[in-house]
């Protein structure tokens, strides 16, 4: 079994690529839930949904989130209430778009959680409904929430930073509220210990992989088997392909490069997969304590993705 630590888009693509190389039913994605939020009283799990919809071939390919063939009637109708909302109310938020078909997922998840089901159970049900062959598990069944401190003062939730503020403002700190009390979801400790190898997907190291690593059990388990842990750099040529990973690394005092990524991951992973554009930094990655493996890592075609997956597994000496 192959375990993959997952954020959203980069991880979803990597899991898809992996299915060309190993039996998907032998793959477990352990997914960040610290981006999760409640809006309209609905439990929304952006990273789980991005991975699920991608693996079900139902993601909107242009947006990279939400479902393809989507309509937005409910959001449009909400504006009527946003117009009369009292000043202190947060009802009828319209800054976070939820498509009509996507809403069904949040309805179902919220109703099942309300009946007492755990997030792990509901996630398995949603995956079954979408006929996802990989196993997806939330990192924890308990609530962990990313809180972002803005440079101009004040704390906001991750989705306020990411969506409402378009991740366009500098940050000075990130913390994961609830992480010190939360435990791994049932079965995840066993998966991390028994997997043939663990891949850290090309996801945001701070806000996607960071929350998983903030759970007390994770880093010691990874460190104890570091030679079979491989990470794929989400930073290519000093930049993120999409999203704030590069700026966040800089703003929080790290380097936005494969070397900065290597410094973060070297305690828990022996190998970093980097793109040929960063080949000149391989010696610096090694100085930071990780073996550098160079292969094209922008998953712009199924062939490149499959080769990236094959090379990554080989690097963790599975094949």
Pick from 192, 293, 289: which is nearest to 233 by CA? Answer: 293
Residues 95-114 that bind ligand GDP (CB under 6 A): none
Residue 295, phi then psi, degrees to nearest 5: -160, 150
Minimum CB–partner distance for residue 242 and ligand GDP (Å): 5
Distance CA 18, CA 12 (A): 10
- Choice between 7 and 138, CB closer to Ca ion: 7
Structure tokens at 16: 């898809």
C-beta of residue 19 within 8 angstroms of C-beta of residue 125:
no
Structure tokens at 169: 């403002």
Asked if 218 is part of the footprint of ligand GDP (rule: CB under 6 A), the reply reads: no
Q: Interface mask (CB under 6 A) for ligand GDP, residues 269-308, using x and -?
A: ----------------------------xxx---------
- Choice between 225 and 268, CB closer to ligand GDP: 268
- Choice between 137 and 240, CB closer to ligand GDP: 240
Asked if 49 is part of the footprint of Ca ion (rule: CB under 5 A), the reply reads: no
Residues 6 or more apart whose CB falls under 8 angstroms from that of 111 comprise none
- Per CB under 6 A, the segment of 5-13, 108-116, 151-159, 264-272 that binds ligand GDP is 5-13
Pick from 199, 147, 148, 146: which is nearest to 169 by CA? Answer: 148
Distance CA 39, CA 236 (A): 34
| SS3 category, 64 | coil
- Choice between 2 and 34, CB closer to ligand GDP: 34
Asked if 47 is part of the footprint of Ca ion (rule: CB under 5 A), the reply reads: yes
Tell me which residues touch ligand GDP (CB under 6 A): 7-11, 13, 47, 50, 202-204, 208, 232-234, 236, 240-243, 245, 297-299
């Amino acid at each position: 079994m192959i375990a993959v630590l997952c954020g959203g888009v980069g991880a979803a693509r990597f899991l898809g690529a992996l299915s060309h190389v190993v039996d998907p039913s032998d793959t477990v994605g352990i997914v960040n839930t610290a981006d999760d939020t409640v809006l309209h009283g609905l439990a929304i799990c952006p990273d789980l949904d991005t991975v699920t919809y991608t693996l079900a071939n139902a993601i909107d390919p242009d947006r990279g989130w939400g479902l393809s063939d989507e309509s937005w009637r409910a959001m449009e109708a909400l504006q009527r209430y946003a117009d009369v909302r009292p000043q202190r109310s947060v009802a009828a938020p319209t800054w976070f778009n939820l498509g009509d078909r996507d809403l069904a997922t949040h309805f179902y998840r919220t109703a099942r959680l309300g009946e007492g089901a755990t997030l792990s159970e509901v996630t398995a049900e949603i995956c079954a409904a979408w006929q996802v062959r990989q196993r997806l598990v939330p990192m924890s069944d308990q609530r962990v929430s990313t809180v972002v401190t803005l440079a101009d003062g004040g704390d906001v939730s991750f989705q306020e930073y990411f969506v409402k503020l378009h991740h366009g403002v500098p940050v000075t700190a990130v913390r994961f509220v609830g992480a010190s009390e939360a435990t791994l979801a049932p079965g995840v400790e066993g998966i991390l210990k028994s997997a043939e190898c663990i891949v850290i997907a090309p996801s945001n190291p701070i806000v996607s992989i960071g929350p998983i690593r903030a759970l007390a059990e994770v880093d010691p388990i990874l460190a104890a088997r570091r030679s079979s842990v491989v990470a794929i750099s989400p930073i290519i040529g000093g930049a993120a392909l999409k999203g704030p990973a590069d700026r966040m690394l800089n703003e929080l005092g790290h380097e936005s490069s494969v070397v900065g990524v290597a410094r973060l991951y070297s305690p828990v992973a022996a190998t970093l997969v980097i793109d040929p554009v960063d080949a000149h930094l391989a010696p610096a990655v090694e100085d930071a304590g990780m073996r550098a493996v160079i292969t094209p890592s922008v998953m712009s075609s199924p062939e490149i993705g499959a080769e990236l997956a094959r090379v990554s597994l080989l690097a963790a000496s599975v094949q």
